[in-house]
Amino acid sequence: MVVDGMGGRIGQEIVQRLRTAFGETVEILAVGTNSTATSAMLKAGANRGATGENAVRVTVRDADILIGPLSTLIPDSMMGEVTPAMAEALALSRARKVMLPLTNPRIDLVGTTKDPLPHLLEEAIVVVASALE
C-alpha cells in the first residue's frame, strides 16, 4: 500500500519505482489523503486507489507493506490532511512500514541521512524487495 497526500508527487514516484522494480508481480494499492494524490498514484500505475480517512483505515488492514512519507504517521501533518484517525490506523497497522524520512518543518529527525529523495526511494525499494522475499 502506497500512501501520500498533498499533490501526490512522492506517492507517484514510489508507484513508478515499484512498477519498474516488480512489474505486475505485486498489487499496488494507492491511498491518498485527497483525490489529487490518489489520482497521481493511479496514473503512475497503481492497481487500485481510494481516498480519505475511511479508505486509509480500511485498506491498511489488509496491507502487507506500507510505504510513503513518514509524515503520514503524524496527526495533522501535511497542512492538516492527515487526520488523527488516519495516522493512528497507519501507525498501528501490522503492515511492515517503509517510511521515507520526510516530515513537516517543525520535526527534525536525527540519525538519518539528508540524502536527496531519489536516493531515499532507491533505498526504500531495496527494503520492499527484501520484505517480499
For residue range 16-27, list pLDDT tens digits in order: 999 999 999 999
Predicted confidence (pLDDT) at residue 107 exceeds the cutoff of 90? no
Going by C-beta distance under 8 Å and a sequence separation of 6 or more, which residues neighbour residue 68?
Answer: 2, 3, 4, 10, 11, 14, 99, 100
The domains located in the chain, with CATH, are 2-128 (3.40.50)
50-72 tens-digit pLDDT: 999 999 999 999 999 999 999 99
Predicted confidence (pLDDT) at residue 101 exceeds the cutoff of 80? yes
pTM of the model as a whole? 0.88
Q: Which three cell numbers stand for residue 58?
A: 480500511
